[in-house]
Structure 1
Amino acid sequence: MSEGLKRVYGIDLGTTYSAIAYVDEHGKPVIVPNQESERITPSVVLFDGDNIIVGNTAKESAKVEPHRVVSRVKQHMGDPNYVFEHDGQVFSPEDISSFVLRKVVGDAELALGEEKITDVVITCPAYFGTPEREATANAGRLAGLNVRAVLNEPTAAAIAYGLEQGDDQTVLVYDLGGGTFDITMIEIKDRLIRVICTGGDHRLGGTLWDEAIVMYLADQFREQTGLDADPMDDPEVLNDLFLQAERGKKTLTQRDKAPFRVTHAGQQARVELERTKFDEITKHLLDRTIELTREMLADAKVKGHEGFDKIILVGGSTRMPQVRERIVADFAKEPESFDPDESVAKGAALFGLKESLEESVREILAPEGAVANGSANEQSLEAASEEQVAEALDRIEKQLGFTLTGPVRDLVNTKIVNVLSKSLGVVARDDKNKDVVVYLLPRNGEVPMEYSSDFGTDTANQAGVDIRVMAGERDSPEPLDCKDVGTATLNLPPSLPARSPIRVKFAINRDGRLIVTATDLTGGASIDVEFETEAVLNAEEVAERSSALRLLNVS
């Protein structure tokens, strides 16, 4: 693309696999293969001396050398207690994720001949809260990238899907990846993609189906050989079993049975796993996805959405025949398999193009001098007429030297509405002097949104108030049922009586970043905090850490 339109890449930073995409001159999102000519890259990191290796080589060593390999780190994003130690160094989930990002971005630069890829949109599960989203953004910054947005994976898939659809419809995005499960209801209309409700489980994914196969193979080995020895106790055997399990699972999508060989303690067992048996030993996992889907549909019904038109399948694990069969049996709809491994990265790339196009249109429509003083982006596109936007897009096409397709032009001013995945509240004392969570922002409420509530000080002459922010999935008032987001402190003037009013306001932006304002209504003191939790590095720490990590050789 020309200098007049910044190319923004979409990255699906997955639990088990990652991918990168861009939108070409024909308006089509395109996946960029890695150096191994594969369209997706295992999100696995191997520490090999002074080198950090990402991808298949790391994956093949995962169970053999667990002290040197990190996999499925996405499940720990935003967790301040998780670290990986190697050779005297400590690495956070953001550090590990930044290595995966450097791999996919570096390979894309080589494949496309790009001097430098800078601007990206990175995706995350819909249920990620504030700490996880900010950690994801920081992973990109640690990799030296300008993260334009952190986008929900089902929303990204819906953007890619909606670009190809002409009719208004409400769809369920059933996203079963290698490590996570999302279920989301999305309304797609002309110039509108609206998330209605979302749910999921961040530890429910295809790797659990692999584990079920491995445990079955170990049981069959003991049964056939009569040995008490467990093949799963040997790291090399276990690694081989997991690699076989993943291959066998794929075989069972095409055939009714798959062969396996288990070698351990000088004995060997040959096992033939039939698809019916595979479905039986993993039924509880599939049951859980259906249970979560029904919970989400119940939430949608409360919001006035009684039904849906289509179910689209996203994520490589949806290729398993059991998924399609169960959905048809339970919901009486034939699901559509939509680009399972690639739709999320492609949708993120389209979202990036939307951001870039809107930025360029704003600059063209801005009053003279606004671009120079940096205020062009403040002009709302909604205030511009369709004719003005069309003329601006015509000018962009002339700069580019090619024609933007109709659906791509329609991305400008397409409204994308997301919802909050967890309710957000504060810890307060009830009339029995017990700590309870009082929610201000509801789960599945549309973002951006804000809400204020008044509380009171506990005692006279209180020196300060701790605003302890909590995230809850099912609105439990018990702090132990919730996750700590962080704490902000409001200092108070002396001599305030007990029950002096404190107003707390929560505001969450479209990227899921929470801004908390607390005001002493008696004395006028206030704090205004864009929440940075203990789990998340601040800007200075990111810059310092990025400089250190860039010295490491990642391939």
Structure 2
Amino acid sequence: MPAIGIDLGTTYSCVFAVQPNGDLELVETPEGNELTPSVVHFSGSAVSVGADAKKQMADDPDNVVVGIKRYMGKDYPQEYGGVSYTPESISAIILRRLAEDAAQQLRTGTDSLELVITVPAYFGVAEKEATFAAAEIAGVKCLELLAEPVAAAYAYGAADSAGSSLVFDLGGGTFDVAVVAATPGGAPRVWAVDGESQLGGLDWDRRMTALMWDKIEAVVDDIDDCRYDDEFVALVESEAERVKRELSVKESATARLKFGPKRFSITMTRPEFEAASRDLVLQCHASVERVVQAAQRLGAPTVARILLVGGSTRLPMIREELANMLNVPVMINDPDKIVAKGAATLAAKLVSAGSQRRLLGAGERITSVLPRSIGVLIYSSRTPWREEPYVQHVLRANTPLPIVDAKFTVSAIFDGQEKARIQLYEQAGAVESDNAADNRMVFDCEVSGMRKVKAGSEIYLLVSVAADGRISVKASDFKNHELEMQAFIEGTLDNAEVQQQRNAVAGLALRS
């Protein structure tokens, strides 16, 4: 069956297909473009994706969705045409468009495609589950989710190089950094990851937009009218993105604007843009420091090179910061498309392995790590006593994947207890903390079927994390009797909701 790799990006998406001879081929849009804007426009019972949808941002902004990737794993429904759509279903619409483009180029149907879809390495449990649900809603078969830095490492051939590679992935809306190298036994792996799921090129766009508004205010009399004119606001945002790109190769760039009969231009310089964006660069700097230190503690080889991924790495301020930090070669090779290419590389391996794909040898794939620590919510029952519940982390960040049946233990509170509520929490900040407020609940379950337990008897949750970061859980008592469990992953859809959203998406006419 045809295999494809999809980089499902915040601002742009990209697809590579695996040809019968094993070659990788870029999938172009019907317009002949290499990238598809991750933009959706609703119009009654029809929907458009990509360049056509992006054109509607000025004319019909209330029915355009941009940057939905930042809301994956969150309760963020939006209503269009009287129908409520979740982030999963809006992502599904984008996936449907990408799959149809691939199927057309491969001269097959979307139901025959087998996909690997990339996600940020720093995505948590809920975001990954939401992405997998998006594939279900789109009606496409997702073989596996793949961390974006790992996809880039496949495409760069990083695991075949001496020393460690620092993969620096700054996309439109998310940021990952990972250290990748071979183990002493020769198998390639990720040693450590870090990042920010809410940092990317969109944030640099907003800084440029704010700078432009400051200058616009100095040359127009009716600034309030400008700010409330949807068409002019869209023009400013479009010009801000263009000027940002131009400043990657020039010291200054000019934005040309029109409001009513008045035409005017404003000039932006690279130094003022870099000054306005300095705090964003420092966020990247902090993540790089943390990931390098974590990899060193775990025994990774010294970083020998930096591999740039994502269109935002074209910003000179990023490359200069990295070169000054680590003093190693900085490599950039088609940063907008390399993640999709790496995803297709893994897709080819998985399709070739068939039913044995879960048994791919260590040397045949780059193994990843758990991006955030996971623990169980505990209420104090002994000294040192704590007034507030806290999180006891059992699985630490950067633990190699897959993880099989890691044991989380809680205790029965009273004799004869028949049920227990157990909650798993995931590290929310950059640094692990046992304060519940510094973590977010990812798994909530009620276990039942306990028999003749005494106060203090142990109850176990056995937590497994697959190679692609998806979580599964089962429960047992202290006698290893399996317990019944009603559970959900916080921020995700249940089966009925997935089917409801699938029906809603299937009912939309996708404009080509």
TM over 0.5: yes
Letter in 1 for 2:390: V
How far has the Cα of 1:525 moved from its partner? 5.4
Which residue, out of 78, 82, 93, partners 1:99?
A: 93
Matched, 1:472 2:427: yes
The one-letter code sitting in structure 2 at the alignment partner of 1:248 is V
Q: Is contact 1:225–1:269 with CA below 8 Å preserved after alignment?
A: no
Matching residue of 1:87: 81
- Select which of 226, 229, 232 maps to 1:234: 229
In 2 relative to 1, CA 493–326 (structure 1 residues): closer, same or farther, beyond 3 Å? closer
* Equivalent position to 1:426, from 363, 376, 379: 376
Match of 2:215 among 215, 220, 223: 220
Superimposed CA distance per residue, residues 242-271 of structure 1 (whole angstroms, 9 cap, x where no aligned partner): 111111112122222111134447655421
C-alpha offsets along residues 500-531 of structure 1, whole Å, 9 cap, x if unaligned?
222232221212222223322269452468x7
CA deviations 1:38-97 (Å, max 9, x no partner) are 000000100012210111222233365332111111111111x21111121100111101
- Give the SS at the match of 1:62: helix
Is residue 259 of structure 2 the alignment partner of residue 304 of structure 1?
no
Q: Which residue does the alignment assign to 1:261?
A: 256
Distance 1:336 1:260 in 2: 31
Retained in 1: the 8 A contact 2:446–2:485? no
Moved more, 100-109 or 70-79: 100-109
Q: Which secondary structure does the structure 1 equivalent of 2:303 belong to? A: coil
Match of 2:473 in 1: 516
Per the alignment, residue 438 of structure 1 pairs with 392
Shift of residue 295, structure 1, vs aligned partner: 1.5
Greater Cα shift, 88-97 or 491-500: 491-500
CA distance in 2, matches of 1:441, 1:74: 26
**Are residue 283 (structure 1) and residue 283 (structure 2) matched?**
no
Question: Percent identity, aligned pairs only?
Answer: 30
**Paired residue for 1:336, among 331, 335, 348?**
331
Computing the radius of gyration over CA atoms, which structure comes out larger, 1 or 2? 1
Q: Does 1:502 align with 2:456?
A: no
Counterpart code for 1:468: Q
Following superposition, the deviation at residue 166 of structure 1 comes to 5.0
The amino acid that maps onto 1:295 is R
Cα distance between partner residues in 2 of 1:512 and 1:281: 36
Partner residue of 2:167?
A: 173
Change (3 A) 1:224 1:484: same
Matches within 5 A, 1:29-178: 29-62=24-57, 65-79=60-74, 81-116=75-110, 117-162=112-157, 167-178=161-172
Superposition RMSD in Å: 2.5
Shift, 1:494, TM fit: 6.9
Aligned CA distance change for structure 1 residues 227 and 548 (closer, same or farther; 3 Å): closer
User: Residue deviations 1:429-450, cap 9 Å, x none?
Assistant: 1233531111111111101124
Shift of the 123–532 alpha-carbon distance from structure 1 to 2, 3 Å rule, reads: farther
Structure-1 residue corresponding to 2:492:
536
Deviation string 1:171-227 (CA, Å, 9 cap, x unpaired) is: 011111111111111114797330111111111111111111111111111123355
- Could you tell me which residue of structure 1 aligns to residue 367 of structure 2? 417
What's 1:183 paired with? Answer: 177
Cα pair distance change 1:381/1:258, threshold 3 Å: closer
Task: Note the C-alpha offset of 1:488.
Answer: 1.3
The whole-number CA distance in structure 1 between the counterparts of 2:466 and 2:451 is: 35
2 CA distance for matches of 1:344 and 1:70? 23
Q: CA deviation at 1:415?
A: 3.3
Distance in 1 between residues matched to 2:474 and 2:466, nearest whole Å:
14
Structure 1 pair 109–517 and aligned structure 2 pair: CA distance change class (3 A): closer
Instruction: Give the superposition deviation at 1:313.
Output: 0.5
Task: Please state whether the residue corresponding to 1:107 is helix, strand or coil.
Answer: helix
CA distance in 2, matches of 1:549, 1:453: 39
Tell me the SS of whatever aligns to 1:447. coil
TM-score scaled by structure 1? 0.84
Partner Cα distance (1:203, 1:67) in 2: 23
State the alpha-carbon separation in 2 of the partners of residues 418 and 230 from structure 1. Answer: 51
Shift of residue 492, structure 1, vs aligned partner: 5.0
Q: Which residue matches 2:202? A: 207
CA shift, 1:18, in A, is 0.6
Opposite residue 443 of structure 2, the aligned amino acid is G
SS in 2 for 1:417: coil
**Shift in CA distance, 534/224, structure 1 to aligned 2, threshold 3 Å:** same
Q: Which amino acid aligns with 1:192?
A: A
8, 11, 17: which is aligned to 1:16? 11
* 1:377 paired residue number: 356
Match of 1:457 among 405, 412, 433: 412
Greater Cα shift, 275-284 or 338-347: 275-284
Q: Secondary structure at the match of 1:466?
A: strand
Inter-CA distance 528–511: structure 2 relative to 1 (3 Å threshold): farther
Kept after mapping to 1: 8 A contact 2:137/2:499: yes
Structure 2: 5+ residue stretches without partners: none
SS in 1 for 2:356: helix
Moved more, 263-272 or 106-115: 263-272
Partner residue of 1:490 out of 426, 436, 447: 447
Name the structure 2 match of 1:392.
Answer: none
Determine the C-alpha separation between the residues in 1 that align with 2:31 and 2:189: 37
Indicate the SS of the match to 1:159: helix
By how many angstroms is 1:27 displaced?
3.8
Query: Would you say how many aligned residue pairs link Structure 1 and Structure 2?
Result: 502
Deviating more after overlay: 197-206 vs 423-432: 423-432
- CA change 1:231–1:169 in 2 (3 A) is farther
> Is the contact made by 2:85 and 2:501 (CA closer than 8 Å) also made in structure 1?
no
TM-aligned CA distance change 1:83 to 1:172, over 3 Å: same
